[in-house]
């Protein structure tokens, strides 16, 4: 199980584990068609298509032609030109950089695409918790309980890890928790 989105709430994160996104050179690339969901490129990554869309950003499936790895790329919506939204997006990246836990997404790179911040993160193979729980309706009650228990233990460990570092998730919901194919 891996969580999708971790955010910071009122904490100075100090030095980041990898380069600070504000200190890295911005990566500009030709725009993809439409809202960044059609094939094109963003930074060094080739866009394969959309994965999800939230209130402030879209998540795309991309691959790195240098090594063939597939990643998820979170791209801020163009309408999010508010400096506070951009600042929150940068803080989210820096917060995620510091987290190393089996149930928390690993982020990798950061850039700017035609004025829109983006960052890449591991691509989790699986379904969100809402879909998974719905698929368990045919199981015997004791089997459903055992599976829910396993997921909740992993989720609790991830949230405890995040909170121990002074961070708050701010959007824990079944649709924002990914359950990997391996459980």
pLDDT tops 90 at residue 78 = no
Tell me if 147 is assigned to some domain: no
Over range 67-81, report the average pLDDT.
88
Residue 132 domain-assigned?
A: no
Q: How far is residue 109's CA from residue 73's CA, in Å, rounded to a whole number?
A: 9
The residue ranges of DSSP E strands in 28-161, in sequence order, are: 41-42, 45-53, 57-63, 70-76, 107-113, 116-122, 126-128
Is residue 155 in a domain?
no
For residue 149, being part of any structural domain is answered with: no
Whether 21 maps to a domain, the answer reads yes
Q: What percent of the chain has pLDDT over 90?
A: 45
Q: Among the options 67, 128, 171, 182, which is catalytic? A: 171
Quick one: tokens of 168?
């708050």
Say what the pLDDT of residue 35 is: 45
H or E stretch covering 4: none
**Confidence class of residue 75 from pLDDT cuts 50, 70 and 90?**
very high
CATH number for the domain spanning 86: value is 3.30.200.20
Token output for 29: 């690339």
pLDDT digits (tens, 9 = 90+) for 37-70: 456 999 999 999 999 888 788 999 999 999 999 9
Top-confidence residue, 129 or 26 = 129
pLDDT digits (tens, 9 = 90+) for 158-183: 999 999 998 888 788 888 888 888 77
Q: Considering its fold, how many domains does the chain have in total?
A: 1
- Bridge partners for 74 per DSSP: 59, 119
Note down the domain range covering 41: 2-123
Q: Residue 114: which residues within 8 A CB-CB, separation 6 or more?
A: 28, 29, 31
**How far is the C-alpha of 28 from the C-alpha of 37, rounded, in Å?**
17
- Evaluate if residue 21 carries a pLDDT over 70: no
Nearest CA-CA partner of 18 in 88, 120, 116: 120
Distance from C-alpha of 68 to C-alpha of 50, rounded to nearest angstrom: 18
Annotation says 171 is catalytic: yes
Within a domain: 6: yes
Residue 172 lies in a domain: no
Q: Does the pLDDT at position 89 exceed 50? A: yes
pLDDT tens for 117-160 read 999 999 998 898 999 999 999 999 999 999 999 999 999 999 99
Assess if residue 145 is contained within a domain: no
């Amino acid at each position: 199980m891996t969580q999708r989105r971790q955010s910071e709430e009122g904490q100075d994160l100090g030095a980041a584990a990898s380069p600070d996104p504000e200190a890295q050179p911005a990566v500009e690339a030709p725009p993809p068609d439409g809202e960044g969901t059609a094939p094109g490129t963003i930074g060094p990554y080739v866009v394969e298509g959309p994965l999800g869309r939230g209130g402030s950003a879209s998540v795309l499936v991309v691959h790195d032609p240098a090594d063939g790895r597939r990643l998820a790329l979170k791209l801020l919506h163009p309408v999010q030109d508010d400096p506070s939204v951009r600042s929150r997006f940068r803080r989210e990246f820096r917060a995620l950089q510091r987290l190393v836990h089996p149930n928390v997404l690993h982020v990798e790179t950061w850039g700017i695409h035609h004025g829109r911040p983006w960052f890449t993160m591991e691509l989790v193979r699986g379904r969100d918790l809402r879909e998974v729980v719905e698929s368990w309706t045919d199981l015997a009650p004791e089997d459903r309980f055992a599976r829910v228990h396993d997921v909740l233990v992993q989720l609790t460990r991830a949230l405890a890890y995040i909170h121990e570092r002074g961070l708050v998730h701010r959007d824990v919901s079944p649709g924002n928790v990914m359950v990997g194919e391996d459980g």
